[in-house]
Structure 1
Amino acid sequence: MGQVLEQLFILVGLLVFLVYLVKCVRFSKCIFLHFWRALPRSFLKSMGQWAVITGAGDGVGKAYSFELARQGLNVVLISRTLDKLQAVAAEIERTTGSSVKVIQADFTKDDIYEDIKEKLEGLEIGILVNNVGMLPNFLPSLFLNTPDAIENLIHCNITSVVKMTQLILKSMESRQKGLILNISSGTALFPWPLYSLYSASKAFMHTFSKALQVEYKAKGIIIQVLTPYAISTSMTNYLKTSMIIKTADEFVKESLNYVGFGDEACGCLVYEILANFIRLIPSWAFYSSAMQKFLLTRYCEYLKNNTNVRGAGQAGAPPTLLSSPVLLLEKDQ
Structure 2
Amino acid sequence: MAPSIQNLGWFYKNEGVQQPAMQSLFLTGLTLLGAYIFTIWFISYIRFLLSLYVLPGTQLRTFGSPSKTWAVITGASDGLGKEYALALSKAGYSTLLISRTASKLDAVANEIKQKFNTPTRTLAIDFALNRDDDYARLQDAITGLDISILINNVGVSHSIPVPFTETPEAEMETIVMVNCMATLRITRLIAPGMVDRKRGLIITMGSFGGLIPTPLLATYSGSKAFLQQWSTALGAELAQHNITVRLVQSYMITTAMSKIRVPTVFVPAPRPYVRSVLASIGRSGGAQGFMYSATPWWGHAWMQYVTNCFVGGHNWMLLRYNVWLHEGIRKRALKKRAERKKAQ
Q: 1:323 to 1:276 in 2, by over 3 A?
A: farther
8 Å CA contact retained: 1:56, 1:62: yes
Distance in 1 of aligned mates of 2:44 and 2:336: 41
Match of 1:277 among 306, 313, 316: 306
Q: Give the aligned partner of residue 3 of structure 2.
A: none
Distance apart, 1:75 and its partner CA: 0.4
Q: How does 1:80-159 map onto structure 2 within 5 Å?
A: 80-111=100-131, 112-138=134-160, 140-148=161-169, 149-159=171-181
For residue 192 of structure 1, give the secondary structure of its aligned residue in structure 2.
coil
Distance apart, 1:41 and its partner CA: 6.2
Match of 1:46 among 65, 75, 78: 65
Q: Give the aligned partner of residue 323 of structure 1.
A: 336
Distance in 2 of aligned mates of 1:41 and 1:77: 18
Q: Give the aligned partner of residue 295 of structure 2.
A: 266
For residue 292 of structure 1, give the secondary structure of its aligned residue in structure 2.
helix
Q: Give the aligned partner of residue 292 of structure 1.
A: 323
8 Å CA contact retained: 1:52, 1:75: yes
8 Å CA contact retained: 1:45, 1:71: no
Q: Is residue 27 from structure 1 mapped to residue 48 from structure 2 by the alignment? A: yes
Distance apart, 1:23 and its partner CA: 2.4
CA displacement 1:51-84 (0-9 Å, x = unmatched): 0000000100010000011111100000010000
Distance in 2 of aligned mates of 1:223 and 1:196: 26
For residue 145 of structure 2, give the secondary structure of its aligned residue in structure 1.
coil
Distance in 1 of aligned mates of 2:98 and 2:187: 14
> What percent identity do the matched residue pairs reach?
28
Distance in 2 of aligned mates of 1:146 and 1:239: 26
Q: 1:293 to 1:32 in 2, by over 3 A?
A: closer
Distance apart, 1:322 and its partner CA: 8.2
8 Å CA contact retained: 2:207, 2:250: yes
Q: How many residues align?
A: 303
Kindly provide the amino acid, as one letter, of the partner of residue 323 in structure 1: K
Kindly provide the amino acid, as one letter, of the partner of residue 270 in structure 1: G
Distance in 2 of aligned mates of 1:118 and 1:235: 30
Q: Is residue 251 from structure 1 mapped to residue 273 from structure 2 by the alignment? A: yes
Kindly provide the amino acid, as one letter, of the partner of residue 52 in structure 1: V
Distance apart, 1:267 and its partner CA: 2.4
For residue 181 of structure 1, give the secondary structure of its aligned residue in structure 2.
strand
For residue 77 of structure 2, give the secondary structure of its aligned residue in structure 1.
coil
Q: Give the aligned partner of residue 88 of structure 2.
A: 68
Which is bigger in relative contact order (C-alpha 8 A, separation at least 6)? Answer: 1
Distance in 2 of aligned mates of 1:13 and 1:276: 20
- The gaps in structure 1 that reach 5 residues or longer are 305-319, 326-333
Q: 1:296 to 1:239 in 2, by over 3 A?
A: farther
Distance in 2 of aligned mates of 1:322 and 1:105: 34
For residue 127 of structure 2, give the secondary structure of its aligned residue in structure 1.
coil
Match of 2:75 among 33, 55, 59: 55
Q: 1:4 to 1:324 in 2, by over 3 A?
A: farther
Q: 1:89 to 1:50 in 2, by over 3 A?
A: same
Distance apart, 1:18 and its partner CA: 3.9
Q: Which deviates the most, 13-22 or 80-89?
A: 13-22
Q: TM-score, normalised by structure 2?
A: 0.80
Q: 1:287 to 1:321 in 2, by over 3 A?
A: closer
- The gaps in structure 2 that reach 5 residues or longer are 1-20, 285-291, 339-344
8 Å CA contact retained: 1:188, 1:199: yes
